Chains A and B, each alone.
Chain A
């Protein structure tokens, strides 16, 4: 039976071969392993040894012609056999191959400025927890759950600490890590959780007193030593009524935190040194604190809200009041929309308001409707205190005095810090302990590393 002689791969990498020379002509006998032609491959010119036996009936690819691996180059069979069908089939194949080759433009060198494409790196097979040992198809690896928001600023934390912080709602930026290089580790999270719990507990039994700012007017003992009934002014009546109402309707709890005020005071000094003399005086620490509070409230909007009975009113803007002591009482002038204002602007507005407060010129809309209140007794020398929430807000921040304290550094040496105690009173109907704690922690971080919040 006649058979086609096919172009074989004479080098491991050749794709096509060119017939250089036929060693047999049509009609010659061909035996197994006879060299019937020479083929030029991509590597060298090789001898083609016949795999067929018989008579070379037809040469399909002449000298100089090309054939791809598997293409017919000749027909071998018995003398006189009809091989027309084989030849036709071969010619068709060759024609279509040539047509395809002709249609394509010859391969050209890529333009010099195009980088050669790199082979796609083989994707490592996704592995499950262990390499599959049974006959199962290797399944896609389960993606580890990552509820922890991506941390910014090169913060180091162990995977476990991150997980715990995420679960407990602790902002890692508020913590200092005790691990190597400041890594936050499990015990730091545990410590933070204990602190929140203990401050909450401590505050619950803490002494509460009326929030008084500035230097209170103290009535001294009467000269005669007899009791005296002092008539209550309208203002005093209102203060009494409102603070009582607040105290007895809002379940108060108290969170205290120490803050390193050093950075803030340094920034304030620099700022005040820069400001032109006539611009309005030195910027007060209160303005810084109010701004920091506003920024932290942006992160914890649920602290900027009010209990309405059936609903909680989430305030749209951050209006921060400062408790100001007056001769006969206290008042809370409000700086509106602190979220949109810078420290200097807040300070300037505050100064105007305080001026009015001390001269009894504040209009109602200037001292009511604060969404959050700051009260400071630092100038009076008070270390820390708890304040009563000023409605309609749900929280008030009591600021103690800034004083120097010794601290133990990471490497065991003793350093000095300017410490300021903050005590946050929260309305538990609106703000849960963890949220209040997280807000206060955030505020601490805000005061200590304000630039972190710009990332």
Chain B
């Protein structure tokens, strides 16, 4: 089976969907002639032309609204945000238009648009360019929010997102674009709303999504070396959330750590932590532990930047806390 990079998987997804459905267009900054700020859309302009792969000025609110408007009347736009940080300028369009058009029109309108881009910190970029947006978007009823962590899921889920008639916020990560993984040549889809067990285990459940996944798997391996069996769940989808997969695992292991590369206050992890506490109460031998960013803006200094994010050590410590292993 071919092994390709995450960014290529995304590109292939868009390519296949654009070939399949002429209503699919890509719109964003540098997506066409520059071949993508992170080279995700490499080659698409050459293949599909400037009418379908559209460079925009730096005008997030404007082109996000344009994507939504086009979606209302039959196109299926993919709106690329160069980073999720810049989507803040377009937030009103997602919150008040994309998420609400179907509802406000009593079902007359659908909004089949995909908003995608790299989310969360990369490296050395300081606070304004290093934010995570899963909490802000997951909060909104009326949209879907997904976050794949492997090339296989990236391709399968982006294809599903493009075919989905609902607005989808598709969270990637700059540091994942180079990750490699097996991706079949034949066409396949990965449904939105399903989690995946990455590693089976008995004693503690580790739950995460997106870029932290690799780090969490490393932590699980390190725990195994010390004699502890950890189960690792990749949520893949935040809205809708695969709650049953989570509860099944926690009811088996009786302990749980949620890892979210985002600030702690009212973050996605806190909602998931509450859900688990409430629905797995009698199965819990320890409170649910959350491993998140520190409650500070991300600094430029690299050591500090790493220190304020989840790490293998932090995950292992949290796992040991819920297993009552004295350290």
Asked if B243 contacts A178 (CB within 8 A), the reply is no
* CB 8 Å contact bits of B255-293 with A (1 = contact, 0 = none): 000000000000000000001000101111110000000
A163 is an interface residue with CB less than 8 A from chain B: yes
Tell me, rounded to whole Å, the shortest Cβ–Cβ distance linking B203 to chain A: 10
A194 is an interface residue with CB less than 8 A from chain B: no
Tell me, rounded to whole Å, the shortest Cβ–Cβ distance linking A329 to chain B: 53
Q: In the complex the two chains form, what is the Cα distance from A144 to B282 in whole Å?
A: 8
Q: In the complex the two chains form, what is the Cα distance from A332 to B281 in whole Å?
A: 51
B254 is an interface residue with CB less than 8 A from chain A: yes
Chain A contacts of B240 at CB under 8 A?
Answer: 133
What is the interface residue range for chain A against chain B?
Answer: 10 to 19
Chain B contacts of A179 at CB under 8 A?
Answer: 286, 324
Which residues of chain A in 153-171 are interfacial with respect to chain B, using CB atoms and an 8 Å cutoff?
158-163
Knowing A160-B254, A185-B324, the reply to whether A129 touches B243 (Cβ < 8 A) is yes
Among B247, B275, B284, contact of A159 (Cβ-Cβ < 8 Å): B284
Chain B contacts of A185 at CB under 8 A?
Answer: 285-286, 324
Asked if A186 contacts B285 (CB within 8 A), the reply is yes
Asked if B324 contacts A163 (CB within 8 A), the reply is no
Among A129, A133, A144, A158, contact of B285 (Cβ-Cβ < 8 Å): A158
Residue of B nearest to A163 (CB): B282
Which of B243, B254, B285, B324 counts the most chain A CB atoms within 10 A?
B285
Q: In the complex the two chains form, what is the Cα distance from A133 to B144 in whole Å?
A: 13
Chain B contacts of A161 at CB under 8 A?
Answer: 285
Knowing A130-B243, A186-B254, the reply to whether A178 touches B324 (Cβ < 8 A) is yes
Chain A contacts of B282 at CB under 8 A?
Answer: 144, 159-160, 162-163
Chain A contacts of B243 at CB under 8 A?
Answer: 129-130
Asked if B324 contacts A187 (CB within 8 A), the reply is yes
A121 is an interface residue with CB less than 8 A from chain B: no
A209 is an interface residue with CB less than 8 A from chain B: no
Asked if B286 contacts A158 (CB within 8 A), the reply is yes
Knowing A129-B243, A130-B243, A186-B254, the reply to whether A159 touches B283 (Cβ < 8 A) is yes
Asked if A160 contacts B285 (CB within 8 A), the reply is yes
A309 is an interface residue with CB less than 8 A from chain B: no
Asked if B324 contacts A160 (CB within 8 A), the reply is no
Residue of B nearest to A166 (CB): B282
Tell me, rounded to whole Å, the shortest Cβ–Cβ distance linking A164 to chain B: 9
Asked if A160 contacts B279 (CB within 8 A), the reply is no
Residue of B nearest to A146 (CB): B282
Tell me, rounded to whole Å, the shortest Cβ–Cβ distance linking B191 to chain A: 16
Knowing A185-B286, A186-B254, the reply to whether A159 touches B324 (Cβ < 8 A) is no
A225 is an interface residue with CB less than 8 A from chain B: no
Residue of A nearest to B281 (CB): A159
Q: In the complex the two chains form, what is the Cα distance from A178 to B286 in whole Å?
A: 12
Q: In the complex the two chains form, what is the Cα distance from A179 to B324 in whole Å?
A: 6
Q: In the complex the two chains form, what is the Cα distance from A186 to B283 in whole Å?
A: 10
Which residues of chain B in 277-323 are interfacial with respect to chain A, using CB atoms and an 8 Å cutoff?
279, 281-286
Among A129, A133, A158, contact of B284 (Cβ-Cβ < 8 Å): A158
Asked if A129 contacts B324 (CB within 8 A), the reply is no
Q: In the complex the two chains form, what is the Cα distance from A338 to B285 in whole Å?
A: 40
Which residues of chain A in 250-301 are interfacial with respect to chain B, using CB atoms and an 8 Å cutoff?
none
A139 is an interface residue with CB less than 8 A from chain B: no
Q: In the complex the two chains form, what is the Cα distance from A133 to B285 in whole Å?
A: 30
Tell me, rounded to whole Å, the shortest Cβ–Cβ distance linking B92 to chain A: 25
Chain B contacts of A163 at CB under 8 A?
Answer: 282-283
A180 is an interface residue with CB less than 8 A from chain B: yes
* CB 8 Å contact bits of A161-203 with B (1 = contact, 0 = none): 1110000000000000011100001110000000000000000
> Which 9 A-B pairs rank lowest in CB-CB distance, beginning with the nearest?
A160-B285, A158-B285, A186-B285, A163-B282, A159-B282, A129-B279, A159-B281, A185-B285, A160-B254
5 contacts between A and B (CB under 8 A): A129-B243, A130-B275, A130-B279, A158-B286, A178-B324
